[in-house]
Amino acid sequence: MQQLLFAVVLFEVVVIMALSFKTPIRKLLIMSLDRSKRGRGPVVIQTVSATVIVLLVTSVYNMMGIQKRWIEDGVVNPTDEVIMAKHLLESTLMGGFLFLGLMIDRLHHYMRELRIRRKNMEVIKKEGALLEGVKARGLDEVKNLMEEITSLRKRQEQLDSELEARSKEIRTEKTSAVALQKQSEGFLIEFNRLLEENQVLRDQLHTVDSKLSRSSSKKNT
């Protein structure tokens, strides 16, 4: 059992050393640990750990019994010394086994978390680069829109000035039209007056003609 514990502890030390440095072996170990935590792997690990804990408690209890017997007897038995040394060695190895196993589990957990965080960081960096590209394109579009707005404002100012000039022309034309209308009304009044005078003159001529006709007829008779 001691040789098995020695081999297991040595193997755990090698695993910890391999996980501590970036080597191709570390990837294989991480993949193996990932697989060991799937399916029935956790149940097997818990069972082995519980068995080792029970053996460790038993060994510690035996050592406490031997030490108590030494205190009561006041004499150290060589056989008890050998058994005490055996239990102490086994307890140390089992404790080391559990402690190193816990270290391997925590190292694997932290390395997996670190790998996930690195992948997330890569995704975030890609998204950031994509957003930067979109932002740059957006800035270009905003710049183009601002230039278009500036040109449209200039065009609007030009159209406003043209509209104002046209409005002035229309007001001038309206004023001229009103003056022409008044002038035409004056001409119409003058025309009507002339027509009336012409009619009066015609009436007068007709009267004169009538008188001349009567006077000529009287002379002839």
Q: Is residue 158 part of a domain?
A: no
Tell me which amino acid residue 2 is.
Answer: Q
Q: pLDDT at position 221, please?
A: 58
Q: Is residue 203 part of a domain?
A: no
What values do phi and psi take at 204, rounded to 5? Answer: -65, -45
**pLDDT tens, residue order, the chain (221 aa):** 678 888 888 888 888 888 888 777 888 887 888 787 777 878 888 888 888 889 889 988 888 888 887 777 766 677 778 888 888 888 888 888 889 888 888 888 888 888 888 888 888 888 888 888 777 777 888 888 888 888 888 888 888 888 888 888 888 888 887 888 888 888 888 888 888 888 888 888 888 777 777 776 666 65
Q: Is residue 94 part of a domain?
A: yes
Residue range of the domain that includes 32? 1-112
Q: Is residue 185 part of a domain?
A: no
The pTM for the full model equals 0.52
Q: pLDDT at position 131, please?
A: 82
Query: How would you class 27 by CB atoms within 10 Å of its CB: exposed for 0-12, middle for 13-18, buried for 19 or more?
Result: exposed
Q: Is residue 71 part of a domain?
A: yes
Q: pLDDT at position 165, please?
A: 86
The answer to whether 104 touches 12, Cβ cutoff 8 Å, is yes
Q: Is residue 49 part of a domain?
A: yes
Q: Is residue 97 part of a domain?
A: yes
Number of structural domains, the chain? 1
> Two tokens at 18?
């391999």
